[in-house]
Structure 1
Amino acid sequence: MSMGWTSPVLPELRGPHSPLPQPPTSQQESWVGSLLVLGGLLGPLITVPLSRHVGRRYIIMGSNIPLLLGWLLALVATNLETLYAARVMWGCATGMMFAMVPIYIGEIAEDQNRGALSALFLLFINVGFLLAYAIGPFSDYWGLTGAGGVLSLFYIPFTCFIPETPFFLVLKGKTEEASKILQKLRGTTEESVKEELEALKTMVAREFKEEPRISDLWATRGNVKALGICVFLAMLLQLSGIDVLLFYMEELLGKVGTNITASDGTIIMGVVQVVTSCVTPLVVDRLGRKLLMWTTSLGLTIFLTIIGFYALLDNYYKIDVSHFAFIPLLCLIIYMVLFTLGVGPVPWILVAEMFPARTKCLAGGICSFMCWLAGFVWTRFFRDVESSYGIYTAFWILAACCGVGFLFSVTLLPETKGKTFDEIQDMLNKKDKSKEVEPVAV
């Protein structure tokens, strides 16, 4: 919800009921939008050092501290500096969640439903966007911001109910507690989870003989390949333009010439995201990661290109395209459907399942960091590209990035659907199970 807050709020900041003494400039609005993404860089820097000692559960609960602080700062803001600080706090909170929640899900899920459960992460992110889009047009600045603050107050009581992951409990030697948690998660008996518990104990004994080091990330060919794949896809997630579209949705719908009000169009987009997110868990473990990635990235390339051509005819050549004003909204709706099915959830699913336990938290933090870094660069300079070269050029750059993602997914992305962690490692290293992975010379 804090990520979608800018879309309805930026017009409010230019209006008579703004909390600011004067309307912000275009550059200042760019900072309001992009500072959340910059704050997201702090998330992995917090979660990675703490995850081995504090546990996944308490990091997820603790992310509410900067989140709630951000809502409080936004509520009392009377100048841009306070708003900037609020956006950084929100970014820190969401960065912590993006770095830790996929790992948490990967550690509590079974192999056959890991993808579906990971896809639910994106579903509830989109519910938050829809809340911001739906409340914003029918409320003022303080109403929307207050609603976000109230929801944040419920965060700690509800997250108290989530258990620590069995893997972390085994890592800390709490085998009996890990067994009880596994019984609850699987809905079965102690005898039924004994085999899975023994597998966790074997994994911990094998992977954590020594303290994990950053050099472990390039200790094997499989780790290097997994890191390269996940970093690229995490950056593609941002370079496809999703944060730009979500942060500036109302503004963009007005600029590309749709014949529907910006607020109505934004609500439609939010509903499409949520509905599609409900479908994603049903298909991600049936169709597989590779198929979803190459088909959706190809589709994003096509429809972003079409929006660019429409904007070129409308804004640059001043051709009357009013009879086709439905095209940009339709293309953006299809964009959201495709993104929510593939390019959005798949990178986080792969982060949760491609790395061995020893390097999972560190690798997840690096992928999250690079994702937020790419997002900050694009959200900060999108308006500069738009003002200097036209909004059509900005859409074509997004299309080109998605085109690169399509080629990457077709040629280099392996399929991990339904495979165990060990099978995925064997595939990445191109080794038989009976053979040990040889380290790469460095």
Structure 2
Amino acid sequence: MDSNLNKDRNGSERATDIETTYTFEIDEDNLFQDLRNKMKSDIWQIFPSSCASLAGIPFGLMLGWPSPTYPTLLQPDSRLPISLDQSALIAGFLMLGVSLGTLFSSRQIASCSKYGIILGNTLIVVGWALMSQSKNVYWLLGSRIVLGTGYGYALVQIKTYIKEMTEEELSDALVKVLACYTLTGFTAAYVIGPFVDFYLFSVIALIVSVFILFIAIFLPSTPKELIRSKRISDAKRLIAFLKPSLDPQIEAVKITESIDSHDSTNTLMDIYSNNTLKYNFLKFTLLVFCQQYSGIPPTLVYTQVIFMKLLVPYPQYFSIGYAVLFLVSNILGIYLFPKYNKKKVLLFSSSCTLMMYICKILVIYYNINEQYFPYTSVIIMYLLVIFNTIGLGSIPFSMITDLFPAKNQLFITKYFTILHCIFALTITKIFQVLLGRFEFFVPFCLLSAVTLFAIVFITFFVSSSHNSNFITKTDVFKEISTKK
């Protein structure tokens, strides 16, 4: 009887061991399967969004085009000669186009962001085609404004596409990456421009633009677009694949409700009727003014011209270095420095920028480049673009979420884009006029005065808190949960 009991016990123990082992193996398989599904869904969220964002590359090429191209076009014997006065106008027409495109960027073609991306890329292709066939300055103006309009329109469509295709946290990260595509194209223009002629540069950019348009045509539809097309079952399957953590049925209902709802929020009326919003709106406008008029836009347009005027050896190579530092500083300004106290970052950036301008003026006035060290101005310009871009050049855009509630942020983002472009256009023209009419240090005196104003303004009118002034429902729920 004992032996039978022991046998039963041993048997049950073995059975228990087998059962436990079997259960563990199932859990392990499920765990790895979940990980595989999560990785697969993340990849298929990121890949189409990254392809949609490629429009930033040909725009960045056009943005960086003036610096390596102007030294050639400004020569009297150029195949397409332009004057110094015309150079600022040509540069400004790109920003004018972006402003025009942004005005209409909320309107979708057939309620589909994909078609908006295709239209934007088509205009970009037309812009580079006009550039490659340019016969006079009017062709250049047409090329710049058409391309700028295409990108200004496509920009909002791309952001909408990303948000519809990805989960919230991932979409925020991918929207930030969008700026990196533009900066990559911008840097590539500095690298390629000095070593190819005007027409070959245009042809290269045109080929890149056509390839990106081809990719845009084959972008997959978003769940929202499928629901609009009455393909509900396809939309649910896509939601289940892209967002496995969500219930496809519930998510499809939410999307349907968002399509049927018409938000009639009047942002201008909200701002006008709310004293806090009015104050924040004015403060934000002045911050963007300080950002653009502190001088980086004209130095980017005339980088190589500035180095040539200062008799820097090999100006085309040092211009490439300036563009690379602008790229790296922007990445730091987008991802790293907004995490710190924004007022302190702005003050540090503005103060260092002012010091660099003072050094720049002294170097020009006393001919230090010619008499002592020919690379002095290069060092100052490099430090200038770093100090300005990490703070004053990038922080104002990140303050939109601090100064305005969520329902007003789309309008403010569009307002920022237009204001950013208009200020870039005007300061570039003013810089060019001062450059052509007065001593070379005079334009930098203006930029120094604006930077000094920025320091005073930030000191007295920008809050030291970098947290949002507006409490969301999520914050309220968190606070209630904490108290409980």
Provide TM-score, normalisation by structure 1. 0.77
- Unmatched 5+ residue regions in structure 1? 435-442
The runs of 5 or more residues in structure 2 that have no matched partner are: 1-60, 478-484
Aligned 8 A contact 2:98 2:149 in 1? yes
- Offset of residue 192 of structure 1: 11
Q: Deviations over 1:207-226 (max 9, x none)?
A: 96535463233232343244
SS in 1 for 2:245: coil
Confirm or deny: 8 A CA contact 2:124 2:146 kept in the other structure. yes
- Alpha-carbon offset, residue 7 of structure 1: 1.2
CA distance in 2, matches of 1:305, 1:425: 39
Offset of residue 382 of structure 1: 1.5
1:256 maps to: 310
Q: Which moved more, 1:295-304 or 1:125-134?
A: 295-304
**1:152 aligned residue:** 209
Tell me how far apart the structure 2 counterparts of residues 88 and 43 of structure 1 sit (CA, whole Å).
10
For the 8 Å contact 1:119–1:277, the answer to whether it is kept is: no
SS of the counterpart of 1:189?
coil
Q: Does 1:36 align with 2:90?
A: no
What CA distance in whole angstroms lies between the structure 2 residues aligned with 1:217 and 1:236? Answer: 22
Percent of residue pairs identical: 20
Structure showing greater Rg: 2
Q: Is 1:103–1:351's contact at 8 Å kept on the other side of the alignment?
A: no
Asked whether the 8 Å contact 1:44–1:368 carries over to 2, the reply is yes
Alpha-carbon offset, residue 356 of structure 1? 3.2
Q: 1:399-420 deviations in whole A, cap 9, x for unaligned?
A: 2222322333343334676x6x
1:136-163 Cα shifts (integer Å, max 9, x gaps):
1111111111111122113334446878
1:183–1:193: 8 Å Cα contact kept in structure 2? no
Corresponding residue to 1:91 among 148, 161, 165:
148
- Superposition map of 1:388-427 within 5 A: 388-414=437-463, 424-426=469-471
Q: Name the amino acid aligned to 1:425.
A: F
CA-CA distance at 1:374 after TM superposition: 1.3
**Partners of 2:157 and 2:377 in 1: CA distance:** 35
Please, which moves more after superposition, 232-241 or 114-123? 114-123
- What residue is the counterpart of 2:194 in the other structure? 137
Residues 1:274 and 2:316 aligned together: no
Ranked by relative contact order (alpha carbons within 8 Å, sequence separation 6 or more), the top structure is 1
Distance 1:198 1:312 in 2: 68
Q: Which residue of 1 aligns with 2:415?
A: 366
Q: Is the 8 A contact 2:400 2:413 kept in 1?
A: yes
Task: Tell me the distance in 2 between the aligned counterparts of 1:197 and 1:292.
Answer: 43
Determine which of 243, 250, 268 is the counterpart of 1:214: 268
Instruction: Say if 2:62 is the partner of 1:2.
Output: yes
232 and 160 in structure 1: CA distance in 2 versus 1, 3 angstrom threshold: farther
Matched, 1:239 2:293: yes
2:375 is the alignment partner of 1:330: no
Post-superposition offset of 1:56: 5.5
Q: Contact 2:334 / 2:394 at 8 angstroms: preserved in 1?
A: no
Deviations 1:388-442 (A, max 9, x none): 332212112112222322333343334676x6xxx54249xxxx969xxxxxxxx
Query: Greater share of helix residues, 1 or 2?
Result: 2
In 2, are the aligned partners of 1:115 and 1:281 still within 8 Å (CA)? Answer: no
Which range moved further: 140-149 or 324-333? 324-333
Q: Which residue does 2:11 correspond to in 1?
A: none
Q: How far 1:361 sits from its partner (Å)?
A: 2.8
**TM-score for both structures, normalised by structure 2:** 0.71
Q: Render the CA deviation track for 1:283-339: whole Å, top value 9, x for unaligned.
A: 13532543432322222222122112211222xxxx675323322111211222223
Matched residues in 1 for 2:84 and 2:419: separation? 26
Change in Cα spacing, 1:281 to 1:29, as seen in structure 2 (3 Å) is closer
Q: Secondary structure at the match of 1:3?
A: helix
Verify the 8 A CA contact 2:397 2:416 in the aligned structure 1: no
CA contact (8 A) 1:113 1:285 kept: no
Matched-pair contact (CA < 8 Å) for 1:99–1:364: no
85, 101, 116: which is aligned to 1:27?
85
**Of 160, 181, 188, which residue of structure 2 is paired with 1:124?**
181
Letter paired with 2:455: F
Cα deviation for residue 113 of structure 1 reads 8.0
Distance 1:104 1:223 in 2: 29
The code of the aligned residue for 1:132 comes to A
The answer on whether the counterparts of 2:402 and 2:470 sit within 8 Å (CA) in structure 1 is no
Count of equivalent residues: 414
1:13 corresponds to 2:58: no
Cα distance in 1, alignment partners of residues 222 and 470 from structure 2: 21
In structure 2, how many angstroms separate the alpha carbons of the residues matched to 1:342 and 1:414? Answer: 15
**3-state SS, counterpart of residue 63 of structure 1:** helix
AA matched with 1:67: I
Q: Look up the match of 1:439.
A: none
Alignment CA distance shift 1:350-1:263 (3 Å): same
Cα 1:184–1:338 change in 2 (3 A) is farther
Query: Is the 2:122–2:213 Cα contact (8 Å) retained in structure 1?
Result: no
* CA–CA distance in structure 2, aligned partners of residues 127 and 193 of structure 1: 40
Cα gap change, 1:262 to 1:24, in 2 (>3 Å): same
Partner of residue 65, structure 1: 122
Alignment partners' CA distance in 2, 1:130 and 1:355: 33
* Amino acid corresponding to residue 366 of structure 1 in structure 2: Y
